[in-house]
Copies of this chain bind each other. A is one copy, B any other.
């Protein structure tokens, strides 16, 4: 499936295209041109064609792209035509909200484990039926339930230690909500979600035009 060295930015855009295409599908739009799709995604039409060209030819010249087909093809490209199991670590405000949040399920991600360090929370049942485990059981439970991706929603101070444990448990993908740069071996891929950094960008733009 993967031929050359693919820009990371391309992968991110493919996700965005997919989201937009899924919306179009709900509006019963069957075919779309790169031009119209580009407009909706806020990118250049050639960009879309280039991004897709890394992986093959998915369009029909003179016509455009069949929305339904393209969604499935992007899913293949990204490896989304299979289930991915998630573990949430840290069930404070943010972790609890995320685990309740419908978007993960909507896109085929399933929580199969949840951890916290607070003894008060251990054994409690979450709305989705999951029981909270103590973080000391992380390695065992992660292996047992075949978790693929760990989500860190702990305070900043605990993030690195949790990351270490996840790596030890054989996890190769981490989504990190803690506002620190965590260090992991090369085999593990980390994506950071830090909304205060995004706010800083906004502050900069508001302060100095753009």
Residues of A within 8 A of B (CB): 1-2, 8, 11-12, 14-16, 18-20, 23, 40-42, 77-80, 84, 86, 93-94, 96-98, 100-101, 103-104, 106-107, 109, 148-149, 172-175, 177, 179-181, 183, 189, 191-210
Report the separation of the CA atoms of residues A179 and B22 in the bound assembly, to the nearest whole angstrom. 11
Q: Are B80 and A196 in contact (CB under 8 A)?
A: no
Report the separation of the CA atoms of residues A201 and B18 in the bound assembly, to the nearest whole angstrom. 13
Q: Are A202 and B181 in contact (CB under 8 A)?
A: no
Q: B20, B103, B200: which contacts A15 (Cβ < 8 A)?
A: B200
Q: Enumerate chain B residues within 8 angstroms of A207, measured Cβ to Cβ.
A: 78-79
Interface of A is mostly: helix
Question: Can you list 13 A-B pairs with a CB-CB distance of less than 8 A?
Answer: A1-B208, A2-B209, A15-B197, A19-B180, A77-B204, A93-B97, A93-B100, A97-B98, A109-B196, A149-B203, A173-B203, A192-B198, A193-B198
Assuming the contacts A19-B179, A181-B42, asked whether A149 and B208 have C-beta atoms less than 8 A apart, the reply is no
Q: Are B109 and A181 in contact (CB under 8 A)?
A: no
Report the separation of the CA atoms of residues A181 and B201 in the bound assembly, to the nearest whole angstrom. 18
Report the separation of the CA atoms of residues A174 and B199 in the bound assembly, to the nearest whole angstrom. 9
Q: A94-B101, A107-B199, A173-B202 are in contact. List 20 more A-B contacts (CB 8 A).
A: A1-B208, A11-B201, A15-B197, A19-B194, A41-B181, A42-B181, A78-B200, A78-B203, A78-B207, A79-B204, A79-B207, A80-B200, A84-B203, A93-B96, A93-B98, A107-B196, A109-B196, A109-B199, A172-B205, A175-B202
Q: Are A200 and B93 in contact (CB under 8 A)?
A: no
